[in-house]
Amino acid sequence: MTDAARRLRLLLSSFVVAAAVAGCARERETAFPDFADLVEEVSPSVVNISTVAAAPDQPARTVPESERGPFGDFFRKFFDNPPEGEDGGEQDEDQGPDAQSLGSGFVLWEDGYVLTNAHVVREASEIIVRLSDRRELPAKVVGSDDRSDLALLKIEADDLPAVALGDATRLRVGQWVLAIGSPFGFDHSVTAGIVSAKGRALPSENYVPFIQTDVAINPGNSGGPLFNIRGEVIGVNSQIFSQTGGYMGVSFAIPIDVAAKVATQLKEKGRVTRGWLGVVVQEVTRDLAQSFGMERPEGALVARVLPGSPAEEAGLRPGDVILSYNGEPLPTSSALPPLVGNSDPGESARLEVRRDGRTVTMKVQVGMLDSEDQRPAAPEKRGTLGIVVEALSPEQRRRERVVSGGALVVELEDGPGRSAGLRSGDIILTIAGNEIDGPQRLAEVVQRLTPGMSVPMLVQRNGTPLFLALEIPAAGDERR
């Protein structure tokens, strides 16, 4: 091959590489969606919701701060009180004691049913729904559900542009999503982002596996729809994590499958029924997993079985680790309540349970959650040796509702108990499945166990049962 031919071949190869690079760049550019057509198509289904609430003792309506949990003081509900001067949120001098607030919603069914957050319309004496064509219609609350923070409204209108519902279970982390709402009173504001996580458990909502996104959500977006790139609603924007009350890049939406089921029940019955097992569960830590002989921490550890509950009838007991519910694996304890709550009362559920070092399958007939005291809440993670204990008196046993056994921790020094997280005032119920009823029994049980091994210890603290991983000390190391 001549030099000229080589140069020509090299030049052609360079052109090919350059064209390929340019093509990849164009492909990357076109990978980002253009939301313009999507917004034009779905916007008519999104509504603005304004409320008036009588509040004679305060200048403006506020929604109480969410329960403090893992997010501390920074986690709060949307307050949905637009600042002065914004549309729909200004307090008029002659308005008297009434306060106005603002939120969002969307047409769920074309015959006048609108879905929003329950906290948007809570305590409202008047609700106005403003449609995309600027019509303002009074609305009444068909029903609301505080556990999911959803409310179904009814307006007198027909042939409304209802949303198309997507499948939130097929949503993948990293996919594009879009929100439309009325932040600070600015109607039909559009923001976009990606799905950051799925199945998030938040402190005050045990029955909602939230979708986490980085979509810019602010007060006034509450109750608005979260769309996928096909224009289907896959969530209801509900909460934010914020240090200021505004957008911080972490927002949460209720999956539409959960929301649609709640709305259907509200429409048909005016209330929501949920499944109930009757167990108090806690997380399986790495230490607890080792003490139960598990390869990795997973599942929901049963700390307490409520008397007369479906769980008790099925034979569940403290110390069981529920690994799956109706075939759905439980990577964490927080995955259990949404699955149970989404079950229909009377349904037969299949549980995969880790018990005494082996896996067994159990069936339980799901009950109905119909009161707050049946809500299975995760106990606080605290709890157990270098200790002084005493037997419970009959009065203490009645007051603490301890049926049998129980040794009260009266002194706590440095040692295995403090290392495990035990506190003065805790009541030790069992160690490695052995009931503890006083100092002598404690000494007998600990003496029989192998030094250096980690065993589960069940304690009661402030009326709440919880397991702790206790490392048995070598002889001479334990202090009682």
In the residue annotation, 119 being an active-site residue is answered as yes
Q: How far apart are alpha carbons 310 and 46 in whole angstroms?
A: 42
Q: Are 421 and 385 in contact (CB under 8 A)?
A: no
The 3-state secondary structure of the chain, one letter per residue: CCHHHHHHHHHHHHHHHHHHHHHHHHHHHHHCCCCHHHHHHHHHHEEEEEEEEECCCCCCCCCCCCCCCCCHHHEEECCCCCCCCCCCCCCCHHHCCEEEEEEEEEEEECCCEEEEEHHHHCCCCEEEEECCCCCEEEEEEEEEECCCCEEEEEECCCCCCCCEECCHHHCCCCCEEEEEECHHHCCCEEEEEEEEEEEEEECCEEEEEEEEECCCCCCCCCCCEEEECCCEEEEEEEEEECCCCCCCCCEEEEEHHHHHHHHHHHHHHCCCCEEECCEEEEECCHHHHHHCCCCCCCCEEEEEECCCCHHHHHCCCCCCEEEEECCEECCCHHHHHHHHHCCCCCCEEEEEEEECCEEEEEEEECEEECCHHHCCCCCCCCCCECEEEEECCHHHHHHHCCCCCCEEEEEECCCHHHHHCCCCCCEEEEECCEECCCHHHHHHHHHHCCCCCEEEEEEEECCEEEEEEEECCCCCCCCC
* Rounded-to-integer distance, Cα 253 and Cα 382, Å: 31
CA distances for 436 relative to 51, 440, 458, angstroms:
57, 9, 10
Rounded to whole angstroms, the Cα distance separating 302 from 292 reads 12
Residue 222 appears among annotated catalytic residues: yes
Q: Alpha carbon of 153 to those of 75, 109, 168, 185, 460: distances in Å?
A: 27, 11, 23, 20, 44
Supply 38's token pair: 């999507």
Select which of 66, 119, 291, 334 is catalytic: 119
**Contact in structure between 278 and 264 (CB atoms under 8 Å):** no
> Catalytic pick from 149, 187, 320, 426?
149
Instruction: State the catalytic residue, choosing from 144, 222, 251, 343.
Output: 222
Please give the positions annotated as active site.
Answer: 119, 149, 222
